[in-house]
Amino acid sequence: MYHFSVMPLEVSNYLVNKLDGLYIDCTFGGGGHTSYLFEKFPSIKIIAFDWDEDSSNQFIKKNNEFNDRINFIRENFKNIKQALANINVYKVDGILADIGVSSKQFDDLARGFSFNSNVLDMRMDNRSQLTAKEIINEYSNRDLADIFYKYGQEYRSRQIADAICARRQRGMINTAVELKDVICSVKRQEGKINPATKVFQSLRIFVNKELSNLEVLLSDAPDLLSEHGRIVIISFHSLEDKIVKLNFKQNADNKIYKLLTKKVVTATSQEIKINPRSRSAKMRVCEKINA
Ligand SMILES: C[S@@+](CC[C@H](N)C(=O)[O-])C[C@H]1O[C@@H](n2cnc3c(N)ncnc32)[C@H](O)[C@@H]1O
């Protein structure tokens, strides 16, 4: 299974406001949301983005199924405006982003997202340069602590950075397993959560510049949306959700958007039972009111 799509029914109900419209799936992944939308709305078209090579291969596999209703662009969604202009698209009827990593990316040990991985990479786009290995082995003690604190809200950030720098004296940290062991030498397990969770999350966000990519997408979205076009963002992290909430509020205050979700939308208990990952998903939706 490539990836279990989160809240597909809610996504489709909120996103599609024009039955023969053109929509953007910013995070194609395994194509789960796109497939669901195509099945439910036989006359819509989708332009899908994903920067990941596996996702691009997944698209090639599924292409026949989608016929001529889809265009796939292997690109960072922060470049959406230019990428769409390149194919002469300037307005769309809806934008969906289901941000974060896919289960496929997370479970593939060669990608370095999981604690059990024998590499230290964490790039979603293998064309980019910066890896977690470079950060862990080359960044200063202070920079490491700042990353762990800012993007992981890790309260032991300084002690963990100290332990990593001490461990570096004995040779490079080459794998996620080695990094996890260093973190666990400083931080004990509390409850079910692995002590390395926050550091791993902070590295992933930093390596992939996840917050700034989201900010650029949100700032370009109003220009791209047609009147009554919808923007649906699903995030899995409080830092991301805070950015979405603030952007939507500002645009609603400026009468550019109407807020369709006064309260954040979360997965139902039935969905969480089938797909535990959906537990932390937060969906917010706006409609463009001033084209
Ligand atoms: C949670 S998965 C999406 C799953 C998809 N909705 C589905 O139903 O199969 C997130 C996907 O977004 C992609 N992604 C994350 N940040 C991106 C960015 N800045 N630009 C393009 N793709 C991105 C990842 O590579 C990953 O495949």
- Mark whether 16 and 137 lie in a shared domain: no
Structural tokens at position 242:
């805070």
- Mark whether 201 and 278 lie in a shared domain: no
Ligand 1 binding site (Cβ under 6 Å of any ligand atom): 3, 5, 27, 29-33, 49-52, 55, 76-78, 98-100, 102, 124, 213
Counted residue by residue, the chain has a size of: 291
What CATH number did the domain enclosing 135 receive?
1.10.150.170
State how far the Cα of 216 lies from the Cα of 50, in Å rounded to an integer. Answer: 16
The pLDDT, as a whole number, for residue 291 is 57
Position 256 in a domain: yes
Question: Which of ligand 1's atoms lies nearest the C-alpha of 214?
Answer: 19
Tell me the residue range of the domain where 187 lies. 129-207
Identify which of 12, 50, 125 to mutate to test ligand 1's pocket (most ligand atoms within 8 A of the CB): 50
Question: Which of ligand 1's atoms lies nearest the C-alpha of 99?
Answer: 10
- Mark whether 179 and 217 lie in a shared domain: no
Query: Nearest residue CA, atom 14 of ligand 1?
Result: 27
Position 2 in a domain: no
Kindly give the pairing relationship between strand 70-73 and strand 225-235.
unpaired
Position 122 in a domain: no
- Mark whether 195 and 216 lie in a shared domain: no
Q: For residue 29, how far is its CA from the centre of ligand 1 (angstroms)?
A: 5
- Mark whether 201 and 223 lie in a shared domain: no
- Mark whether 147 and 267 lie in a shared domain: no
What does the radius of gyration of the chain's CA atoms come to, in whole angstroms? 20
Q: Which residues of the chain have pLDDT under 50?
A: none
Position 263 in a domain: yes
For helices 32-40 and 53-66, the axis angle rounded to 10 degrees is 20
Query: Nearest residue CA, atom 18 of ligand 1?
Result: 76
Question: Which of ligand 1's atoms lies nearest the C-alpha of 35?
Answer: 8
Q: For residue 28, how far is its CA from the centre of ligand 1 (angstroms)?
A: 6
Identify which of 24, 77, 102 to mutate to test ligand 1's pocket (most ligand atoms within 8 A of the CB): 102
- Mark whether 71 and 86 lie in a shared domain: yes
When divided into structural domains, the chain yields a total of 2
The three-state (H, E, C) secondary structure of 194-253, written as one string: CCCHHHHHHHHHHHCCHHHHHHHHHHHHHHHEEEEEEEEEEECCHHHHHHHHHHHHHHHH
- Mark whether 163 and 87 lie in a shared domain: no
Q: For residue 162, how far is its CA from the centre of ligand 1 (angstroms)?
A: 33
Question: What is the widest separation between alpha-carbon atoms in the chain?
Answer: 61
What CATH number did the domain enclosing 23 receive?
3.40.50.150
Question: Which of ligand 1's atoms lies nearest the C-alpha of 209?
Answer: 19
Q: For residue 50, how far is its CA from the centre of ligand 1 (angstroms)?
A: 6
**For the segment 185-206, what is each residue's pLDDT rounded down to a tens digit?**
999 887 888 999 999 999 999 9
- Mark whether 98 and 223 lie in a shared domain: yes
